[in-house]
Amino acid sequence: MPRGQLILIEGLDRSGKSTQASYLTSKLSPSKLIKFPDRTTPIGKLINEYLTNKSFALNDQSAHLLFSANRWELNEEIHSLLNQGYFIVLDRYIYSGLAYTLAKHDFQGEGVSSGGSKKQLGDIDWLLGPDKGLPKPDLTLFLTLDLQEISKRKGFGDERYEMEQFQARVKQCFLKVLPKEDNVQIVDVGGKTIEQVSEELWNLIVSKSKHIQTNNPIELI
C-alpha cells in the first residue's frame, strides 16, 4: 500500500492558517490534522505556559528545544498514520521552529525574548539540529499577508510573539529559512476571502500531490 502524504500549512500568527488547515483536512480522506505546538502533551503544557504567561522565565535556547521536543512527542504517531495511508495536515512545524527563534536573534523589543547570550539563535545549523530525523513534509504551503492586516485581526496581541514589530522579523525569517523548492509554495492571502484562499490551496494540493512519490518511504529532515 502506498503511504499517505505529509502536507504542511505554515504562516504568520493570525494568517488564517488554522482555519485553512482544518478545512483541508475535512476535504482529504482518510486524514488527520496535527497542530504544533500540541499543547496537550507534557511538553506542550509547558509551551502553553510559556506563550500565555509573559513572566514565565525560560531562556530562548530552552524554549527552542521544547518546541522541537514537542514535535518528537508526535513522531511515532505521524509515521504510523502515514504508513496506514493517511493524509496528515500539519498546522505549523519545523519552519515555525526556525523562523520564530531566528527572529529573536537580533530583536530588542520587550516580552518576546530572554536576556543572556543569543549567539546560537542566529545559527541555522544549531536551530535545525534538534529537528533532524523528523519526517520531512511532502508539500509546504506558507500563508503570508501584510503586517498591518495581521495586527487588525481578532485576538492579535494576546500571546507572546503577537506584536507587529516582531511579526515583521518573523516574516523576513520565514522567507529566509523556507527552502526554494517546488514543493514549498508561498501564498499571499491578503485581501482574499477564506473561500478564495481555500480554493487556491486546494488547487495547489491537487496539482502538487501528483508528483509525490508515495511508494518511497517518507524522507527525514
Cell 493517511 belongs to residue:
86
Q: Which stretch binds Mg ion (CB under 5 A): 6-14, 64-72, 134-142, 163-171?
A: 6-14
- Which of 20, 96, 113, 185 forms a contact with ligand TMP (CB under 6 A)? 96
- Which of 4, 16, 44, 97 forms a contact with ligand TMP (CB under 6 A)? 97
Q: Does residue 174 bind ligand TMP (CB under 6 A)?
A: no
Taking the least distance from each CB to ligand TMP, the nearer of 97 and 137 is 97
Q: In sequence order, which ranges of 28-162 are alpha helices (DSSP H)?
A: 42-52, 60-73, 75-83, 94-104, 124-128, 147-152
Query: 65 is in the binding site of which of ligand TMP, Mg ion, none (Cβ under 5 to 8 A by kind)?
Result: none
Q: Which contacts qualify for 193-202: CB closer than 8 Å, 24 or more apart?
A: 194/16, 194/19, 194/20, 197/16, 197/20, 197/143, 198/20, 198/23, 198/24, 201/9, 201/20, 201/24, 201/141, 202/24, 202/27
Taking the least distance from each CB to ligand TMP, the nearer of 82 and 90 is 90
Chain centroid offset of residue 28 CA:
20
Taking the least distance from each CB to ligand TMP, the nearer of 58 and 209 is 58
Q: Does residue 36 bind ligand TMP (CB under 6 A)?
A: yes
Q: Taking the CB of residue 85, how many other CB atoms lie within 10 A of it?
A: 13
Q: Does residue 168 bind ligand TMP (CB under 6 A)?
A: no
Report, in Å, the least distance between residue 28 CB and Mg ion: 23
What's the CA gap between 177 and 164, in Å, rounded?
A: 20
- Which of 22, 51, 105, 168 forms a contact with ligand TMP (CB under 6 A)? 51
Rounded to 5 degrees, what are φ and ψ at 40? Answer: -95, -15
Report, in Å, the least distance between residue 60 CB and Mg ion: 18
- Which of 13, 91, 138, 200 forms a contact with Mg ion (CB under 5 A)? 13
Q: Does residue 169 bind ligand TMP (CB under 6 A)?
A: no
31 Rama class: left (phi>0) / alpha (psi -120 to 50) / beta? beta
Query: 51 is in the binding site of which of Mg ion, ligand TMP, none (Cβ under 5 to 8 A by kind)?
Result: ligand TMP
What's the CA gap between 178 and 215, in Å, rounded?
A: 25
Q: Which residues bind ligand TMP (CB under 6 A)?
A: 13, 36-37, 51, 67, 92, 96-97, 100, 161
Q: Which residues bind Mg ion (CB under 5 A)?
A: 13
